[in-house]
Chain A
Amino acid sequence: MGSYIPSTAEERQRMLEAIGLSSTEELYRDVPASARLKVLDIPEGMSEMEAAQAVGALADKNRRYRAIFRGAGAYDHYIPAIVKTVTSKEEFVTAYTPYQAEISQGVLQSIFEYQTQICELTGMDVSNASVYDGAVAAAEAVMMCQEHKRSGVVLPDTVDPQVLGVVRTYCESRSVPVTVLPTTGYALDADALKAALADNVACVYAQSPNFYGVLEDMDAITAIAHEAGAKVIMAANPISLGLLKTPGEYGADIAVGEGQPLGMPLSFGGPYLGFMACKAAMMRKLPGRIVGETVDKEGRRCFVLTLQAREQHIRREKASSNICSNEALCAMTASVYLAAMGPAGLKRAAENSAAHAHCLAGLLNAIPGFELKTAKPFFHEFVTACPVPPETLQKRLDDEGMLGGLPLDDGILWCCTEKNTRGQIERLAEICREVSRK
């Protein structure tokens, strides 16, 4: 047992005496006796070695797959060695939110660099310092668009279902109407959107590549939404933005997304990173921390948390959001990742992910029962049929150390990244062929 208290029992007794007390109990004299806890019913403390063994044993209970062909919101990309080295530096790990700019320039500058990179990636003017994850980024973006005379969000059912869940939760509590457009063919139909847009809808939210990997017709979506006076929120996979057209180029007003692919391991779902960027006109509605450049008295360039008049510690119940902590270390992770990859490296990760996915799609499509569900353009995810119960297929893949695609109601959602080798892809297709023959 250890509580990381440096002082010895004798020292603590002397400290008690120094403040005129004789026992620890007296420190809690304001606690009503009837509420005092008699015994804390948890196990005795462990030595570091025992704790390491106990927690290590839990890690050992998980199955680690050698090859992962599953995405659906969490992606297994290569993480350059320097990313972990930089983000393990104790100064960054153990610091608090950079309130004291004079001793926090490191964190502040890294967030400023992150904001710049997110703007470059998304084609937007302003980025915040991050929010909890891509789903919360989506929900906060919907809130940004709500105005006195315009409310509600329209979104297709091709968005990530977990994102939809979070958007629903946030909207329900603020009485913001949510309209989910059903789709056929794994992408939003522009005419259906046109028909669904009343003239007082605040925003349209669309994800491209969408949950099924398909690239939505964002030109049509933005045109229709803007014509109806609604804002457009576009969610994008940040790796895809090394290659594909940006939310800014499509004319979206806000870009959001899950930043996990930018150097964060899968980690059973977190910590991840929600990125949020917008056009300059919406800057003061952006929630969360934002870092700005300024100068000190000597005219030296420096960085501070800024536009704080939006925030909860100043505005209290009138704040644009309650968010205070963001995911600073994850934002730094993304920033180091993007700097290490550079424009060419990021593009290559995007191209190789897409190439691997298209290679796998081609091989599967040729296997009876594994046909592609749609011919629409996709990035690195796609849906095929599955001729057997997906669990049967996964059982077979388990033997190979492979995690197959995510089972859906009508098939399987596959994903490839640059990490999946040609050999793995061909082996996976071989197994699918075997399974389809049985």
Chain B
Amino acid sequence: MKLLFERSRTGRGQSLIPACDVPAVSFDPSLLRAEAPRLPEISEVDLGRHYTELAKQTHGVNDGFYPLGSCTMKYNPRIDEEMAALPGFTGIHPLQGEDTAQGCLEVLFRLEKLLCEITGMDGMTFQPAAGAHGEYTGLLLIRRYHQARGDAARTKILVPDSAHGTNPASAVMAGFSVVSIPSNAQGGVDLDALRAAVGPDTAGLMLTNPNTVGLFDPNILEITEIVHRAGGLCYYDGANLNAIMGHVRPGDMGFDCVHLNLHKTFSTPHGGGGPGSGPVGCKAFLEEYLPEPRIREENGAYRFCTPAHTMGRVRSFWGNFLVAVRALTYILTLGREGIPEASAGAVLNANYLMNKLKDSYDMSFDTICMHEFVMTLERLKHETGVSAMDVAKRLLDFGMHPPTMYFPLIVHEALMVEPTETESPETLDEAASVFLGILEEARTDPESLHSAPHSCPIGRPDEVTAARSPVLRYKFAQ
């Protein structure tokens, strides 16, 4: 496929901006760039077709089943998009007066209240632009809390070995060192290891529950209590909230702060990798450390205010506002009954699909799962040479996005499957038969899996060369 730059022809383009209606400015030549940027010169029709062609080479949720574990690829309702496109939101300057942006402030204020109720928290910020950004912000809350108490010794964050890689990376960015906590045989936190790890240097624990193997840790109350007794705080990674929202709240499990991924749990689209939104909620005793500004209600009007001991800013303005508009629309639509129904539906779909596969594929844990389950293809690889990667790539031939591969790290040859609640039983049945068919193929014709996919625009890319001799931009002919 041609690149934009290869479609460019000198002098082409559409008239978009009128000639200037006031005298031109003559800048000192020393302030001007020597040469024009080599942006493509392209007619509107060619530009439109270029992206239509690119769209055909992109698999989104609306193109088919997308059981990408840990990513919650649920359907993105159209009404949410329509609301986010309202000129009454898109045309509002972030620094226009509070009085003239009351609708925007109310969006954030109402969404904060709704999400606090869903998570069992007392206050929330929408500044973080993504989950990892939220983790960083939540950890800064913990850091500020200990600093304010003069407890400088608390420098360590405990992270289970099953955690997403962002957890330890965020902890280091927030100025902590990381202690890895092993998992027990059931995939949960090893309580003895946790007890041994906590101490006067413990700043906090970061935990995803349900965890990354898709199981709800039944010891959760004991876990948070162990950390609290040692003087640490408990951070809830909201990556897997879609399993439990409306049924159990992080705040009631003993967590002190939480980040959410609005682009997972609350159905805002992922956009090919952003923009997301990673709001951070916390219990009342941490609210004074939240980023500035927050929004409060005062005689029916909404006002910005600065928390007493704010950590400052983690992003400009008020976060990814239009993502918040989508999430608000979504929550208003689902409401009291729909929120728990959605999570129960996600758990049901995962169990239904797992049940159809578990006699053929090895499950990392053969028990009732939450919203996702992890298969291990270790035995298959040993017996046939077919890897998790081979199976994933073969799934592409059937129009299905593969599950998350090789994660969590504690499961070998892992495929992590998260169907979400917005798939019908027929889709799950079809997916199951594709999975079973591929297993059959692994035993009879492993070569067809090693060389998969066969029906995509490209075959497997040479990633080693890409990393060793990086070509990261188009090279123009001189």
Contact = CB atoms under 8 A, between A and B. Distances in A.
B424 A7 contact: yes
Contacts of B341: 3, 5
A324 B130 contact: yes
A228 B210 CA distance: 51
Contact of B273 (A34, A123, A289): A289
Contacts of A367: none
Contact of A102 (B14, B132, B328, B396): B396
A436 interface: no
A77 to B, nearest CB: 9
B31 A215 contact: yes
B425 A15 contact: yes
Contacts of A246: 33
Interface in B222-273: 244, 246-249, 252-253, 263, 267, 269-273
Given A93-B81, A315-B165, A105 B315 contact: no
A174 B82 CA distance: 41
B470 A321 contact: no
Contacts of A91: 55-56, 58-60, 62-63
Contact of A244 (B27, B58, B269, B271): B27
Interface stretch (B18-26, B196-204, B378-386): B18-26
B172 interface: yes
A151 interface: no
A336 B24 contact: no
B311 interface: yes
28 contacts: A1-B334, A2-B334, A14-B425, A24-B348, A30-B215, A34-B221, A35-B221, A35-B248, A73-B94, A80-B14, A92-B58, A94-B270, A96-B73, A109-B57, A112-B3, A162-B317, A241-B33, A268-B92, A271-B274, A271-B320, A294-B471, A306-B472, A307-B467, A321-B173, A324-B132, A327-B129, A347-B36, A352-B18
Nearest to B349: A15
B88 A64 contact: yes
B90 interface: yes
B456 A102 contact: yes
Contacts of B17: 78, 341, 345, 348-349, 352, 418
Contacts of A319: 165, 169, 172
A316 B315 contact: no
B463 interface: yes
Contacts of B90: 265-267
A168 B172 CA distance: 16
Interface in A208-222: 215, 219
Contact of B473 (A76, A115, A321): A115
A296 B317 CA distance: 43
Contact of B272 (A28, A62, A332): A332
Interface stretch (B97-105, B279-287, B435-443): B97-105
Nearest to B177: A317
Interface string B340-364: 1110110111011001000000000
Contacts of A267: 89-90, 92, 321-322
A64 B175 contact: no
Contacts of A59: 83, 86-89, 103
B33 A55 contact: no
B76 A93 contact: yes
B305 interface: no
A195 interface: no
Contacts of A76: 93
B415 interface: no
A399 interface: no
Interface in B24-53: 24-25, 27-28, 30-34, 36-42, 44, 47-48, 50-53
Interface in A198-253: 215, 219, 241-246, 249
Given A112-B474, A322-B136, A377-B27, A1 B175 contact: no
A115 B475 CA distance: 12
A52 interface: yes
Interface centre among B36, B131, B453 (most CB of A within 10 A): B36
Interface string A107-125: 1011011011101110101
Interface string B266-305: 0101111111100000000000000100000000000000
A323 interface: yes
Interface residues of B, number: 194
Interface in A298-346: 298, 300, 302-304, 306-309, 311-319, 321-330, 332, 335-336, 338-346
Interface in A60-88: 60-65, 68, 70, 72-74, 76, 78, 80, 82, 85-86, 88
A44 interface: yes
Given A60-B88, A352-B17, A90 B102 contact: no
Interface in A19-58: 19-21, 24, 26-32, 34-37, 39-48, 50-52, 54-58
Contacts of A297: 451, 459-460, 462
B114 interface: yes
Contact of A45 (B60, B275, B338, B451): B338
Given A116-B473, A306-B467, A339-B42, 19 more contacts: A2-B338, A19-B368, A27-B344, A31-B248, A44-B335, A55-B86, A62-B101, A65-B91, A92-B271, A93-B81, A94-B76, A99-B68, A169-B312, A245-B31, A271-B129, A306-B463, A317-B177, A322-B135, A329-B271
A2 B407 CA distance: 33
Nearest to B86: A59
B308 to A, nearest CB: 17
A312 B166 contact: yes
Contact of B328 (A55, A132, A294, A327): A55
A113 B16 contact: no
Given A51-B329, A359-B22, A322 B463 contact: no
A46 B83 contact: no
A30 B216 contact: yes
A369 interface: no
B62 A94 contact: yes
Nearest to A345: B16
B313 A316 contact: no
Contact of A168 (B76, B100, B276, B312): B312
B319 interface: yes
B154 interface: no
B307 interface: no
Q: Which 10 residue pairs spanning A and B have beta carbons closest together?
A: A45-B335, A269-B317, A59-B88, A329-B271, A106-B58, A269-B94, A61-B103, A271-B275, A94-B60, A106-B54
Contacts of B407: 313
Contacts of B333: 1-2, 45-48, 51
Contacts of A42: 114, 117-118, 331, 335-336, 339
A255 interface: no
Contact of B87 (A64, A68, A96, A270): A64
Residue of A96, A97, A332 ringed by the most chain B CB atoms within 10 A: A96
A157 interface: no
A93 to B, nearest CB: 5
Contacts of B30: 219, 245
Contacts of B173: 170, 173-174, 321-322
A35 B462 contact: no
Nearest to A97: B273
B314 interface: yes
Given A1-B335, A4-B342, A93-B81, A312 B169 contact: yes
A341 B86 contact: no
B152 interface: no
A374 interface: no
Nearest to A85: B48
A421 B22 CA distance: 9
Contacts of B334: 1-3, 45
Interface in B108-153: 114, 117-118, 129-133, 135-136, 140, 143
B107 interface: yes
A73 B318 CA distance: 13
